[in-house]
Amino acid sequence: MIADVEVKTHKRTELIDITEHVASVVRSSAVKEGTVFVFVPHTTAGLTINENADPDVKRDILAEMNKVIPFDDDYRHGEGNSAAHIKSSLFGPGLTVIISGGELLLGTWQSIYFCEFDGPRNRRLHVKIQEG
């Protein structure tokens, strides 16, 4: 089963918690044991799993990424978004989470985040459920 999830971003860079969107796809699949793979078909966005309790963690991640990979740094790419491409490569376009008992098997403080590096935009991601 593959489902598409739409994500609307509002800032140039942001981390958006998509855990409930992915969990909803898992629940609708009725798969009790297996894996879910989430894939972002964009070259200026990515995915990560990180802490969901303190919003300063998201802020800190983005602040450090923007320091290490600044928006303007004598890049040659004509579209002017090389920093977003680099950040996307570092985070990666996909991740896998175990499904157990029909639920995502995440840690207590973990959430799945869509990482926007070239927004704001209307984005989508693909969610694939594998039973077994």
- The residue range of the domain holding 28 is 2-131
pLDDT attached to residue 108: 96
Q: Is 18 helix (H, G, I), strand (E, B) or coil?
A: coil
- 13-56 pLDDT per residue, tens: 999 999 999 999 999 999 999 999 999 999 999 999 999 999 99
CA angle 41, 45, 48 (to 5 degrees): 100
Alpha helices of the chain — where are they, by DSSP H? 19-29, 55-68, 82-91
pLDDT attached to residue 20: 98
- 102-119 pLDDT per residue, tens: 999 999 999 999 999 999
- 82-108 pLDDT per residue, tens: 999 999 999 999 999 999 999 999 999
Q: What CATH number is given to the structural domain containing 96?
A: 2.60.120.460
pLDDT band of residue 76 (cuts 50, 70, 90) is confident
For the chain, how many structural domains are there in total? 1
